[in-house]
Amino acid sequence: MYILPYTPPYDWPWILGFLRDRAVTGIEQVGENHYSRSLALDGHQGIITVTPHAEKPALVVTLSDGLLPVANLALAKVEQLLDLRLDPTAMLATLGELAAARPGLRLPGCVDSFEQAIRAILGQLVSVALAAKLTGKLAAAFGTPCAGHDGWLLFPDAATLARLAPETVKTIGIPLQRAQAIVTLAQGCVAGTFPLVRPENVELGVKALMTWPGIGRWTANYYAMRGWQAPDVFLPDDYAIKQRFAGMTPATIRRYATRWQPWRAYALLHIWYSSGWQPVN
């Protein structure tokens, strides 16, 4: 058992709900007060489980035996997924009233940037629920069992997906072009050309992502926000955001959002999850 502290406020129920809505069958399980998922790291594999500490501003992490040799790396992945390293003071000051209703909201990251990139592609133009379902079908078709844990799968790695024909990936129920994008991305990861680590200049990094087949502006920005956990990314082309900024073009929305720099990703989440919010002049 390991204890990972955080700087309050931290809205554990909210982030648990965020993960629950996107949970992938076989890879993740989300209960009323816990989050579990499979993980493969440096030749080791197992299950991580996270629960809130009963007394401290901290989360309690349990690792199955298979992950104990890489415990420090696994804990770092948990910190990245749950945004535990953030001191929210500056972010809350910048967002002001926008963050007042949910000051403990954090930016969910990921435990594996490759997995998050694939999930971003599968989430194109579909609901959150359907994206999770498609990701589960991908895991069931091409993932591998997590050794010693019945019913658990490991997300397919880049080498596995890189060897597949797009026509094979298409059988999970996605368009051929999207299947080709997944295979191409996996091949790029194997070759070391796809950017799995946040670049120094995120804006240029997002533009570079958009040169990859099947990755448009929304996918590139969403991956940057979750896969790189870039705090200053905004999605002016997002359907829900365009509804909130009714009558504004994406360019106008982008200009409006500059008031929240360098915390625009957090502003985006607050807008998504604040039903009554409307832009003001």
CA distance 141 to 127: 21
Alpha helices in the chain (DSSP H): 12-21, 71-82, 89-95, 113-122, 128-142, 158-162, 166-169, 176-191, 202-209, 217-226, 239-244, 250-257, 264-272
Confidence (pTM): 0.95
Same domain for 53 and 145, yes or no, is no
Distance, in Å, from the CA atom of 99 to the CA atom of 164, rounded to the nearest integer, reads: 44
Strands 58-63 and 44-52, by their bridges, are antiparallel
Owning domain of residue 121:
113-226
SS3 155: coil
Q: Is residue 104 part of a domain?
A: no
Tokens of 241: 């955001």
Per-residue CA distances from 43 to 34, 219, 244 (Å): 26, 30, 45
Strands 153-154 and 58-63: unpaired
Same domain, 251 and 205: no
Q: What is the pLDDT of residue 23?
A: 98
Q: Is the pLDDT of residue 281 over 80?
A: no
Cis status of the peptide bond prior to 69, with omega within 30 of 0: no
Do 175 and 250 sit in the same domain of this protein? no
In a domain, 278, yes or no: no
Q: Which of 83, 157, 232, 238 is catalytic?
A: 238
Q: Is 83 a catalytic residue?
A: no
Distance CA 60, CA 75 (A): 10
| pLDDT tens digits along 121-145 | 999 989 999 999 999 999 999 999 9
- Is 52 a residue whose pLDDT tops 90? yes
Q: How far is CA 274 from CA 88, 167, 240, 279, in A?
A: 18, 41, 11, 12
Q: Is the same domain home to 89 and 152?
A: no
Residue 38, both tokens:
């499979």
* Residue 3 contacts residue 111 (beta carbons within 8 Å): no
pLDDT for 278 beyond 90: no
Confirm whether 105 is domain-assigned. no
Within a domain: residue 19? yes
Return all residues near 240 (Cβ < 8 A) that are at least 6 apart: 271, 272
Residue 276 pLDDT > 90: no
Closest CA to 279 of 244, 247, 249: 244
The chain-wide mean pLDDT, for the chain, equals 96
pLDDT digits (tens, 9 = 90+) for 98-111: 999 999 999 999 99
Domain count across the chain: 3
Nearest to 71 by CA among 51, 36, 41: 41
Euclidean distance between CA atoms 169 and 141, whole angstroms: 9
The model's pLDDT over 35-45, given as tens digits with 9 standing for 90+, comes to 999 999 999 99
Pair 219, 260 in one domain: no
pLDDT digits (tens, 9 = 90+) for 141-196: 999 999 999 999 999 999 999 999 999 999 999 999 999 999 999 999 999 999 99
Q: For residue 150, what is the domain's CATH number? A: 1.10.340.30
pLDDT of residue 56: 96
- The CATH number covering residue 25 comes to 3.30.310.20
**CATH number of the domain where residue 266 is located:** 1.10.1670.10
**Contact between residue 264 and residue 98 where contact means Cβ atoms under 8 Å apart:** no
Say what percent of the chain tops pLDDT 90.
94
Q: Output the DSSP codes for 80-102.
A: HHHTTT--THHHHHHHGGGGTS-
CB–CB of 228/120 below 8 Å?
A: no
**Owner of token pair 């498609």:** 134
Q: Which of 174, 182, 166, 228 is nearest to 201 (CA)?
A: 228
pLDDT at 78 over 90: yes
